C-alpha cells in the first residue's frame, strides 16, 4: 500500500467482543474481507458456526450469511497480513482503585507488529485513556517496523442499534500524521456516511470519553432529582414532566440505572488521564458516584419495605444492564451491586430476563424462573429494566392469589393502579407514596 493508490480490501479485527463483533458484521456487509481474531476458542467456534455470543439485532444474520466467505475467524491474523488492523480489545478498569488495564491493548499491538507489514494501517477502536494510543500502541509498532501508520477512531454506538449507527453516526478519526489520517479517512469512508477528522490521536481519544462522561452526568442529575423527591414525598416523573414541558432549555432525564460496558468504565479512564495531567474533574467523579450508589440504595429501600426480609422471596425482573434497546449484556448491571445487600438480608432472589440465560442468573446468585412462577411464589417484585416484555405484563392477572405485597417498579412500566388495586404496595425510583 503506497500513496494515493491505497485500496482497503482485507481488514483484521483484533478482539471479538461487542465492539469488534458489530464492526466485523458492518464491514462484511459493506464488502470488506474481515479477519476476526480472538483468544477464546469457544467464542471462535461459536462465531465460525454463525452463532454470535452477544445479542445484537442483525449481527447473527450477517454472520450466518458471510462466515467462510467474507468473515474468517482465527487466533491469529493471516500470514499474509491485512490492509488494515483494527484493535477492539477490552480495556477494563480494576475493581479496586479503578485503574485502567491496558495489557490487552499492548498485546494486540505486538501481535499486529509480528503478523503484518509496515504499510498496514493500524486503528485503535478500543476506548482508552487519553495518550494510550501514542504511549502503548505506537512503541510496539515502532519496535517491530521502525515507523507506523496509526489512527484512533473510537466506537460510539448504542447497543441495540449498532449496525445502523455504524454507518449513520459521524466517524471521528485522528491520525499520528497526515498520511495516517488520510488512510484512516479512506478506510472509514467505506463504512460511515460522515467523517470527522481531528488533529491528533489524543483528540479522538478524548471525544469518546467526553461523549460517555457527558451522558453519565446527564443521567446522574435525574437520579439526584429522584433521591430528593423520595425524601420530600413527591413524584420525580411529575416534577420532570412539568420541568420539561415546552421549556426551551435542555431536557431533564428520567431517573434510572446507568450501567453497560462504557458508562460504568469510561469515566474512570477519563479520571485517570485527567489526574495524571494534574486535574481532578469533580463533576464527572461525583456523577459516577451518584449513579453507582443508586442500585445499592434501591436494594436497601426494597429490603426495608419488605418488612422482615429474612427467608422471603424477591422476584427480580431484568438482569441485563438495560431493557431498551434490548440486550443480554451484563456489564455494569444493577443486580451485581444489589445482590450483596439481598444476600446479607437473607432474601432469596428469583430471576427472570427475556435475553439473559438462566446459567448467568445463577452465577449472579439468583434462581431462574418464568414470570408466572415468579409472581406465584414471590413476596415482592423488583422490576429493574424497561424491557418491552415487562411493559406488556398483565399484573391484574398475575397478582391475584399471589403472596406479593410489594412491587418496586424502577422504570414505571407497570400500571400503578392495577398494582394498588390488589392491595399491593407500589414504589419506584424516587417515588414511595404512602400506603393507603
Give one DSSP letter per residue of 38-77, joined into a string.
-S-HHHHHHHHTT--SS--TTHHHHHHHHBTTTEEEESS-
How many contiguous H segments (helices) and E segments (strands) does the chain have?
Answer: 19, 14
Final residue before a domain boundary, out of 137, 165, 199:
199
Residue 230 and residue 142 share a domain = no
Tell me the residue range of the domain where 17 lies: 6-199
Which cell numbers in the block locate residue 379? 413476596
Report yes or no on 317 lying in a domain: yes
Structural domains of the chain, count:
2
87 and 36 in a single domain? The answer is yes
Residues 169 and 224 in one domain: no
Q: Are residues 214 and 195 in the same domain?
A: no
Tell whether 238 and 189 lie within a shared domain.
Answer: no
End residue of a domain, out of 199, 216, 247: 199
* Per-position DSSP letters for 267-279, written without gaps between them: HHHHHHHHHHTT-
**Cell numbers 438462566: residue:** 358
Shared-domain flag, residues 178 and 221? no
Q: Is the pLDDT of residue 78 over 50?
A: yes
Give the chain's mean pLDDT. Answer: 96
Query: Which of residues 199, 218, 236 is at a domain's end?
Result: 199
Please report whether residue 142 resides in a domain: yes
The pLDDT tens digits of the residues spanning 209-248 come to 999 999 999 999 999 999 999 999 999 999 999 999 999 9
Same domain, 227 and 362: yes
Residues 183-193: pLDDT tens digits?
999 999 999 98
224 and 178 in a single domain? The answer is: no
Neighbours of 214 (CB within 10 A): 12
Say yes or no: 303 and 325 in one domain. Answer: yes
Q: Is residue 235 part of a domain?
A: yes
Q: How far apart are CA 263 and CA 35, in angstroms?
A: 29
User: What DSSP line would sit under 105-145, residue for residue?
Assistant: HHHHHHHHHHHS-TT-EEEE-S---TTHIIIIIHHHHHHHH
- State the average pLDDT over residues 135-143: 98
pLDDT of residue 250: 85
Pair (177, 216) in one structural domain: no
CATH number at residue 403: 3.40.50.720
Please check whether residues 313 and 292 belong to one and the same domain. yes
Q: Could you tell me which of 40, 234, 10 has the C-alpha nearest to residue 120?
A: 10
Q: How confident is residue 98, by pLDDT bands cut at 50, 70 and 90?
A: confident
Pairing mode of beta strands 149-152, 171-175: antiparallel
| Arithmetic mean of pLDDT, 347-362 | 98
Question: Domain check: are 266 and 286 in the same one?
Answer: yes
**47 belongs to a structural domain:** yes
In sequence order, the β-bridge partners of residue 427 are: 408
Q: What is the DSSP code string of 254-312?
A: PP----HHHHTTHHHHHHHHHHHTT---HHHHHHHHHHHHHHHHHHHHHHHHTSS-TT-
d(CA 80, CA 130): 32
Cα–Cα distance for residue pair 139/106, rounded to 1 Å: 9
* Domain-embedded: residue 1: no
Cβ–Cβ contacts within 10 Å for residue 101, how many? Answer: 11
Amino acid at each position: 500500500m503506497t500513496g494515493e493508490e491505497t485500496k482497503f480490501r482485507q481488514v483484521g479485527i483484533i478482539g471479538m467482543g461487542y465492539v469488534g463483533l458489530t464492526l466485523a458484521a458492518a464491514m462484511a456487509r459493506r464488502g470488506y474481507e474481515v479477519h476476526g481474531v480472538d483468544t477464546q476458542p469457544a467464542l471462535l467456534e461459536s462465531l465460525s458456526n454463525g452463532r454470535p455470543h452477544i445479542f445484537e439485532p442483525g449481527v447473527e444474520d450477517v454472520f450466518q450469511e458471510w462466515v467462510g466467505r467474507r468473515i474468517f475467524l482465527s487466533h491469529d491474523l493471516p500470514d499474509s497480513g491485512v490492509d488494515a488492523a483494527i484493535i477492539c480489545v477490552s480495556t477494563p478498569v480494576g475493581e479496586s482503585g479503578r485503574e485502567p488495564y491496558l495489557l490487552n491493548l499492548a498485546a494486540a499491538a505486538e501481535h499486529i507488529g509480528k503478523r503484518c507489514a509496515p504499510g498496514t494501517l493500524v486503528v485503535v477502536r478500543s476506548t482508552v485513556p487519553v495518550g494510550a494510543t501514542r504511549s502503548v500502541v505506537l512503541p510496539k509498532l515502532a519496535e517491530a517496523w521502525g515507523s507506523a501508520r496509526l489512527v484512533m477512531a473510537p466506537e460510539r454506538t448504542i447497543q441495540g442499534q449498532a449496525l445502523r449507527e455504524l454507518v449513520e453516526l459521524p466517524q471521528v478519526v485522528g491520525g499520528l500524521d497526515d498520511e495516517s489520517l488520510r488512510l484512516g479517512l479512506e478506510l472509514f469512508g467505506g463504512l460511515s456516511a460522515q467523517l470527522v477528522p481531528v488533529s491528533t490521536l489524543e483528540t479522538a481519544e478524548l471525544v469518546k470519553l467526553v461523549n460517555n462522561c457527558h451522558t453519565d452526568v446527564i443521567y446522574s442529575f435525574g437520579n439526584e432529582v429522584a433521591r430528593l423527591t423520595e425524601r420530600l414525598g413527591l413524584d420525580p416523573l411529575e416534577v420532570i414532566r412539568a420541568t420539561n414541558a415546552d421549556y426551551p432549555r435542555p431536557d431533564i432525564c428520567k431517573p434510572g440505572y446507568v450501567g453497560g460496558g462504557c458508562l460504568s468504565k469510561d469515566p474512570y479512564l477519563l479520571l485517570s488521564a485527567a489526574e495524571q495531567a494534574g486535574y481532578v474533574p469533580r463533576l464527572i467523579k461525583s456523577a459516577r458516584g451518584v449513579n453507582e450508589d443508586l442500585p445499592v440504595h434501591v436494594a436497601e429501600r426494597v429490603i426495608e419495605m419488605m418488612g422482615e426480609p429474612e427467608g422471603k422471596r424477591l422476584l427480580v425482573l431484568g438482569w441485563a444492564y438495560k431493557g431498551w434497546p434490548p440486550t443480554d449484556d451484563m456489564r455494569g448491571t444493577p443486580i451485581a451491586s444489589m445482590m450483596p445487600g439481598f444476600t446479607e438480608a437473607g432474601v432469596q432472589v428469583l430471576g427472570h430476563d427475556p435475553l439473559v440465560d438462566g446459567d448467568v442468573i445463577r452465577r449472579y446468585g439468583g434462581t431462574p424462573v418464568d414470570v408466572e412462577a415468579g409472581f406465584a411464589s414471590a413476596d415482592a417484585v423488583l422490576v429493574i429494566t424497561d424491557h418491552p416484555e415487562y411493559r406488556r405484563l398483565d399484573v391484574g392477572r398475575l397478582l391475584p392469589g399471589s403472596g406479593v405485597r410489594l412491587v418496586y417498579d424502577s422504570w414505571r412500566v407497570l400500571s400503578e393502579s392495577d398494582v394498588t388495586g390488589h392491595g399491593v404496595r407500589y414504589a419506584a425510583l424516587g417515588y414511595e407514596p404512602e400506603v393507603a
